Structures are given as C-alpha cells and as structure tokens.
C-alpha cells in the first residue's frame, strides 16, 4: 500500500502572503487543524492551530481580543508558519507516513512530488483507515488470536488446518508478544466461514498444541468475547 492510495487530494490551502486570520477562518470553516502554505503553487510551509496559538502571545500578550483580531488580520501567514516541513512522496509506502506521524507526533503530512508541487495530505486518521482495512475489521467473521513459537512454517501449518475446515482468511497479521519474547509471536487471523467450521478448526488447533488465546465473533464491530481455556 502506498501513500497515493490513501492520501486526501481535495485540499484546503493558504497562500504565504494571506493573513493569519484568513488561515484561522479556513481552519474553522473546514474543521481542520493544519493548512499547507503555497507560493506560486509550490509548498513553502505549513501553518497549524498550534502555530497560531504560539505566535499570538509572543506578539500580543498584552492586547485585548479586539486588538488581537487586528494583529492577526494584518499579519501574513509566512510570519507564523513552520518553514521546515517534513513531507512524504505519493510513491512512499504507507508505513513511512505512519512512522513519521507516530515518532514526530504529527497529525498530518503534506504529500509532494519532486518539484515541490503539493498533491495531497496524509493524516493519522488515514493511517487508522489503512489499519482497519488491512485487519478486515469491517467484515463479519471470527477473529482468532494464537501465540506461536517463532519458527519457519508456523503460519503454513495453521493455514493448512483452516483450509481443511473450509475457512477463508480475510486478513492475517503477526505481532511481538507483550513480553517482547523473541521466540514467540502473536498471530491475529480474521476468518470467514461457517461458525461450526470455525469451532472445529479452533479445537483442532488446540489439539495440535497451538495456544489459542481468544476468539472474537465480529460483524464490523465486536459483539462477543470468548475466553479460551489455557
């Protein structure tokens, strides 16, 4: 999955010589917290609610609301914007955006081509959408969690049992265990198929020595939880 497949392209932007008040009004009108700043069609910065809040006290800490309004109406965006902008490419994998958003604690990233032309924006919500889609969370089925030894062929053995019981794998993901044990992995599988077949497959997995920790019956949302015997 690539950023270009998930980014928003219907953008709200502001020019670098527009006023800060213009930017603030755009944010409130469109219910967004950041605006890419353009100059002659090129990305030159980004202005956020935080930028405006941090700019305001430094310039007008002793002014009343009316005077503050006048200051923001006369101040150009280029004076308050962040100039050193971290960007991503539309051809970057979505994981790159996720890492930057997480590590830098950003809410969104401008997406630019090599010529600095702005083509989109990718936000934390977009990354959540990717996770929801990848995990098949909006499709009905069973969510099975299995803790396995981290060894070659473990997933293939599980898939073979699921196939025998005529179950389809909607999604599959592996995670390090909470204990960070390098020798074990948590496998989360979303399945579709007859409930009796799911139950029979779970029993066979347990009989084969697999540690099935829980099973969730899901219909686009969690409806019930079954705790498995250890």
Q: Which domain holds residue 143?
A: 135-227
- pLDDT at position 229 is 54
Residues contacting 168, CB < 8 A, separation 6+: 191, 192, 193
What average pLDDT does the segment 79-105 reach? 95
- Same-domain pairing of 141 and 92: no
- pLDDT at position 66 is 59
Q: How far is CA 147 from CA 141, 177, 178, 186, 230, in A?
A: 20, 8, 11, 4, 11
- Same-domain pairing of 20 and 126: yes
- Same-domain pairing of 47 and 157: no
Give the C-alpha separation, 194 to 187, whole Å.
21
- Same-domain pairing of 186 and 92: no
What average pLDDT does the segment 163-183 reach? 88
List, for residues 141-168, the tens digit of each pLDDT value.
899 999 999 889 989 999 999 999 999 9
- Give the number of domains in the chain: 2
- pLDDT at position 230 is 46
- pLDDT at position 3 is 97
Last residue of one domain, picked from the residues 86, 108, 132: 132
CATH of the domain at 165: 3.30.70.260
């Amino acid at each position: 999955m690539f950023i270009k497949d998930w980014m928003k392209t219907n953008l709200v932007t502001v020019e670098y010589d527009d006023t800060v008040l213009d930017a603030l009004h755009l944010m409130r009108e469109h219910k967004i917290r950041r605006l890419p700043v353009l100059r002659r069609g090129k990305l030159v910065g980004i202005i956020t609610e935080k930028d405006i809040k941090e700019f305001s006290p430094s310039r007008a800490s002793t002014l009343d609301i009316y005077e503050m309004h006048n200051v923001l109406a006369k101040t150009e965006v280029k004076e308050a914007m962040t100039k050193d902008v971290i960007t991503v490419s539309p051809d970057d994998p979505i994981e790159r955006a996720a890492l930057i958003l997480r590590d830098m604690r950003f809410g969104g990233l401008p997406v630019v081509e090599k010529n600095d032309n702005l083509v989109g924006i990718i936000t934390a919500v977009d990354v959540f959408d990717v996770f929801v889609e990848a995990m098949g969370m909006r499709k009905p089925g069973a969510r099975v969690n299995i803790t396995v030894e981290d060894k070659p062929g473990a997933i293939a053995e599980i898939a073979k049992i699921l196939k025998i019981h005529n179950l389809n794998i909607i999604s599959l993901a592996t995670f390090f265990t909470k204990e960070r044990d390098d020798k074990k992995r948590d496998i989360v599988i979303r399945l579709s198929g007859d409930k009796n077949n799911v139950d029979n497959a779970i029993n066979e997995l347990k009989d084969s020595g697999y540690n099935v920790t829980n099973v969730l019956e899901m219909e686009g949302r969690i409806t019930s939880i079954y705790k498995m015997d250890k």
